[in-house]
């Protein structure tokens, strides 16, 4: 059961955003395909229907009472599919995934690409409708985010990772031309979500270190994030734009600051202490993450040590949120609730 609160999750997150010490640190696990488990349906089925996607997000909120609700199932693939990438069906417990790269063959020539629009041949509008449904149901209680694939990750799915990396050295102008197209789709989708009152989660799984290095991130990733974030209307009225990727995000903190990101994930592998020191009084929110596999496997001793270590590093922070990487389909709900209890018991929000 969801815990009884005298303070709504939206009030707690608004306090965090304002830099006020909250009554406790918020808790925001990454629930995507796990929401399909709560409905006892496959990720593929839920990902293709707005009503089910919204139901999964709302059921997760009713079950866990987390402070940030993100709407999406196959969070990396909706834009790629709209570009023409084939996507697997996501049957059973599997997550839908891209199975081919339409621009993989020959020289990269993106100039003829038309930016796809919502319609019956893609799920751009399905995601927006799901977000609208969630905001209608719980938007007055909790921050709601819509999930989007970032411009760089869209480009990787179109071209293929190894080919795109080669293009950066052999045909950088063509790569930038492709990123112009993918960032335009991201700008348009972000605008549609913003009109619903949603925040945006910009996912860049292919931009994770060490898949690429900071110079590539600086040249081919962050300028296009900034373009998307700069396009958002009336940002103060929406949950702050989030950029989500794993790996050592501490090495990228200056780039996130440059782009104007309002919330970033500090993966369990990153140097949280460095990120905190670098941010100082900057209003960016840090979501400190633990290893979701430990939660799935019930490795409670190791998880407890990780939680205590992170709590000590974040002690006294106003703009800190508990989190974890993507919660798997197989994670038992009682295990995720146990993680919540452990995190809230380790609260150091008012202790510097």
Residue 315 lies in a domain: yes
Query: In angstroms, rounded to a whole number, what is the distance separating the alpha carbons of residues 297 and 179?
Result: 39
Query: In angstroms, rounded to a whole number, what is the distance separating the alpha carbons of residues 209 and 247?
Result: 5
Residue 135 lies in a domain: yes
What is the secondary structure of 257-273 as a DSSP string?
Answer: HHHT-SEEEE-TTS-HH
Residue 125 lies in a domain: yes
Residue 248 lies in a domain: yes
Q: Which domain holds residue 326?
A: 9-345
Which CATH number does the domain housing residue 72 bear? 3.20.20.210
How many domains does the structure of the chain reveal?
Answer: 1
Query: In angstroms, rounded to a whole number, what is the distance separating the alpha carbons of residues 236 and 250?
Result: 26
DSSP 8-state secondary structure symbol assigned to residue 198 = -
Residue 4 lies in a domain: no
Per-residue pLDDT of the chain (352 residues; tens, 9 = 90+): 344 458 999 999 999 999 999 999 999 999 999 999 999 999 999 999 999 999 999 999 999 999 999 999 999 999 999 999 999 988 888 889 999 999 999 999 998 899 999 999 899 999 999 999 999 999 999 999 999 999 999 999 999 999 999 999 999 999 999 999 999 999 999 999 999 999 999 999 999 999 999 999 999 999 999 999 999 988 788 999 999 999 889 999 999 999 999 999 999 989 999 999 999 999 999 999 999 999 999 999 999 999 999 999 999 999 999 999 999 999 999 999 999 999 999 999 988 6
State pTM to two decimals: 0.95
Residue 44 lies in a domain: yes
Angle at the Cα of 93 from the Cα atoms of 243 and 299, rounded to 5 degrees: 70
Burial class (CB in 10 A: 0-12, 13-18, 19+), 226: middle
Using alpha carbons, select from 74, 126, 121 the residue that is nearest to residue 99: 74
Q: What is the pLDDT of residue 111?
A: 86
Residue 3 lies in a domain: no
Query: In angstroms, rounded to a whole number, what is the distance separating the alpha carbons of residues 116 and 193?
Result: 16
Q: What is the pLDDT of residue 31?
A: 98
Residue 209 lies in a domain: yes
CB 80 within 8 A of CB 98: yes
């Amino acid at each position: 059961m969801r815990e009884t609160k005298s303070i709504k999750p939206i009030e707690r997150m608004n306090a965090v955003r304002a830099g006020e010490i909250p009554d406790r640190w918020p808790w925001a696990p990454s629930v995507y395909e796990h929401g399909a488990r709560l409905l006892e349906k496959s990720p593929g089925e839920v990902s293709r229907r707005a009503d089910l996607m919204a139901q999964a997000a709302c059921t997760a909120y009713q079950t866990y009472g987390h402070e940030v609700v993100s709407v999406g199932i196959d969070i990396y693939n909706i834009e790629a599919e709209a570009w023409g990438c084939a996507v697997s069906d996501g049957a059973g417990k599997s997550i839908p995934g891209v199975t081919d790269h339409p621009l993989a063959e020959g020289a990269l020539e993106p100039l003829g690409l038309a930016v796809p629009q919502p319609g019956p041949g893609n799920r751009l509008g399905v995601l927006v409708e799901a977000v609208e449904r969630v905001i209608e149901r719980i938007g007055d209680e909790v921050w709601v985010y819509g999930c989007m694939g970032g411009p760089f990750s869209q480009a990787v799915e179109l071209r293929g990772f190894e080919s795109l990396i080669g293009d950066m050295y052999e045909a950088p102008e063509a790569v930038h031309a492709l990123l112009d197209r993918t960032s335009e789709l991201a700008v348009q989708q972000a605008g549609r979500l913003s009109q619903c009152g949603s925040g945006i989660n910009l996912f860049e799984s292919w931009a994770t270190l060490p898949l690429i290095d900071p110079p590539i991130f600086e040249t081919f990733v962050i300028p296009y994030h900034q373009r998307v974030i700069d396009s958002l209307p009336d940002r103060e009225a929406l949950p702050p734009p989030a950029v989500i990727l794993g790996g050592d995000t501490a090495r990228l903190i200056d780039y996130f600051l440059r782009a104007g990101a309002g919330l970033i994930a500090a993966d369990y592998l990153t140097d949280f202490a460095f990120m905190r020191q670098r941010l100082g009084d900057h209003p960016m929110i840090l979501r400190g993450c633990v290893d979701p596999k430990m939660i799935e496997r019930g490795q409670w001793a190791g998880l407890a040590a990780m939680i205590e270590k992170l709590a000590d590093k974040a002690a006294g922070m106003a703009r800190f949120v508990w989190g974890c990487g993507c919660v798997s389909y197989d994670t038992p709900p009682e295990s995720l609730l146990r993680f919540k209890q452990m995190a809230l018991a380790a609260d150091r929000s008012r202790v510097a």
